[in-house]
Amino acid sequence: MKVLIFDTKETLFESLSHYYINEIKANPNIHLGLATGGTPVPLYEKLIEDHKLNKTSYKNVKTFNLDEYVGIEETHPQSYRTFMNETLFNHIDINLNNTKVPSGMASDLELEAKKYDKLLDEHGINIQLLGIGTNAHIGFNEPGSNLNSGTIIAPLTQETRDANVRFFNDMSEVPTVSITMGIGSILKADKIILVATGANKAEAIKNTIEGYITKDVPASALQTHNDVVIYLDKEAASLLSK
């Protein structure tokens, strides 16, 4: 794993957005695996800024999101589909039909998971973007998850629900189940970029990079992939030993 440590969040996202813009320009048909959560928002803001200023085009780009809550409609303000539309897709020239988010409202969720894996296998992801949970989850693969699985229907831990309650009116509204690319699905991407900012991610990052590969630390499975780049600010890197 390659680890890049930046003095500030600003310099991290400056560098990361340049990387993405160059990749998109070099391959206008690129397949991007995208993530939700607070971490990637500054990246998406910079991609929008660049699209407006420099006309970098997303007309032929395809995107595949990691996960979605089960039991809330696509149009719910906190669905990950809504998040992606509002945070990125509505502000660039991407064709919404080329943006995929698994459905958390499918009547047969197991079938939806299978269909999502088929879609991922048919297309393939060039660059998968990841955030990381304070418990080292990636997507919604919580500690204890199988490190090889395809897309799964996965319960959310209380820690994750606590972290996400800020987006809802109260805990009773926070979903308890998700549909998420499995760690096996994530590891099929050609390249993986994990981004973490802030001291609350420092322990998860230390365990991911310096710990054993274990189900208790889902992101530790990234050690088995041959092209992973981890973008950290100083705070997220603060517990690393070197």
| Residue 135 annotated among the catalytic residues of the structure | yes
| Residue 233 annotated among the catalytic residues of the structure | no
Least Cβ distance, residue 89 to ligand PGA (angstroms): 18
Nearest-5° angle of CA 102, CA 106, CA 111? 80
CA separation for the pair 155, 161 (Å, rounded) = 10
| Residue 7 annotated among the catalytic residues of the structure | no
CA separation for the pair 153, 31 (Å, rounded) = 23
Q: Which stretch binds ligand PGA (CB under 6 A): 12-20, 32-40, 43-51, 120-128?
A: 32-40
| Residue 68 annotated among the catalytic residues of the structure | no
Contact 132, 183 (CB under 8 A): no
Q: Which of residues 113-132 bind ligand PGA (CB under 6 A)?
A: 131-132
Q: Which of residues 69-88 bind ligand PGA (CB under 6 A)?
A: none
Least Cβ distance, residue 201 to ligand PGA (angstroms): 7
Rg of the chain on CA atoms, in Å: 17
- Candidates 33, 37, 42, 102: give the one binding ligand PGA (CB under 6 A): 37
Among candidate residues 31, 50, 137, 233, the one labeled active-site is 137
Tell me whether residue 238 is exposed, middle or buried, using C-beta atoms within 10 angstroms of its C-beta: 0 to 12, 13 to 18, 19 or more.
middle
Binding region for ligand PGA (CB under 6 A): 37-39, 131-133
Q: Which residue numbers are catalytic?
A: 67, 135, 137, 142
